[in-house]
Homo-oligomer: A and B are copies of this chain.
Amino acid sequence: PDWAMAKTKFEYVKQFEQQDPLLPNTWLVVRIDGRAFTRFTQDHAFEKPNDVRALNLMNECAKAVMREFPELIIGFGESDEYSFVFKKRATVFQRRASKIMTSMVSLFAGNFVLNWPKFIIDKDGAPEPLQYIPQFDARCVLYPSDKNLRDYLSWRQADCHINNLYNTCFWSLVRKAGVPEAEAQDRLKATFASEKNEILFNEFGINYNNEPVIFRKGSLLLRGHEEVTITKMSPTSKADPTPIERTVTRKRPAVLVHHTDMNSEFWDARPELLAE
């Protein structure tokens, strides 16, 4: 067959592709979430309720995404999910939704698999085997106002807080007090935050506010600078040109991990984040 003619004849099918440009001048959030991680975390015996190795691995993947997509200004991760915020004027892939979410999620997933052996290790530093390749879903969500965006991030952070307080309580009851799971669930059902705090304190001597901040507040990625120490040879002095080894510290742009509440003080202190 004449393949060139064939191609011409067939390429009408390209017109069936739907364009999916996202509204301009609008905050664009891409949220990635592990598929069926309830199962995945069991199959890999993750620490309950929080496995700090897993959170660090997620952060590593998210940093790679932030480095690769320069229009991202914020990342926020908790549990098996990560939210990424593009600035309002972002023109990444001409704001084509499919392109954006699939490129990001594939990069995230590739990093997850590659960095697994570096992060998911036992006490002796030996990597735990990855039983199978995890999947992640991703979605694009638009927020027209700054308030909507802040509320979005607060929503995810509130989710983190609530789940973590509940889970800390639940697993203390189950693991430390030997309460059967169903009973623990029953007891916590419909309790207020204050009551959970009291259970933790009175029954387990845990001051919830002393729990690791990464568990309580999630991980926030922001652009900043890191100091790097470079060793180089340079002349001793103008008089004596013999080169000697020196360590110099430099600042270079980097994605930094924070664990902090995204409240009014936070935003007020960083006006550049929401600036045009």
Q: What is A's interface to B at a CB cutoff of 8 Å?
A: 1-4, 6-7, 9-19, 21, 23-26, 32, 35, 64, 68, 88, 97-99, 101-114, 130, 133-145, 148, 151-152, 154-155, 158-159, 161-162, 165, 192-193, 261, 263
Specify which of B15, B113, B148 is in contact with A113 (CB 8 Å cutoff).
B113
Minimum CB–CB distance for A235 against chain B, Å: 35
Are A98 and B23 touching (Cβ within 8 A)? no
Please give, as numbers and ranges, the residues of chain B lying within 8 Å of A263 by CB-CB distance: 1
A144 in contact with B141 (CB, 8 Å): no
Please determine whether B165 and A3 come into contact, CB atoms closer than 8 angstroms: yes
Could you tell me the distance between the alpha carbons of A42 and B86 in the complex, rounded to whole angstroms?
30
Tell me the complex Cα distance, A192–B4, Å: 8
| Alpha-carbon distance between A102 and B101 when the two chains are bound, in angstroms | 7
CB of B16 within 8 A of CB of A141, answer yes
Q: A103 to B3, Cβ gap below 8 A?
A: no
Q: How far is the CA of A14 from the CA of B165 in the complex (A)?
A: 22
Point out the residue from B139, B148, B261 that lies within 8 Å of A102, measured CB to CB: B139
Instruction: Return the contact of A13 from the options B35, B105, B133, B151 (Cβ within 8 A).
Output: B151
Contact partner, A154, options B2, B10, B23, B141, Cβ 8 Å: B10
Say which residue of B26, B106, B114, B139 sits within 8 Å of A135 (CB atoms): B106
Considering residues A108, A113, A141, which has the most beta carbons from chain B within 10 angstroms of its beta carbon?
A113
Write out the residue numbers on chain B whose beta carbons fall within 8 Å of the beta carbon of A134. Answer: 106, 110
Q: Report whether B7 and A102 are in contact in the complex, using a CB–CB cutoff of 8 Å.
A: no
**B158:A3 contact, CB within 8 angstroms:** yes
| Residues of B close to A143: CB separation below 8 A | 13, 16
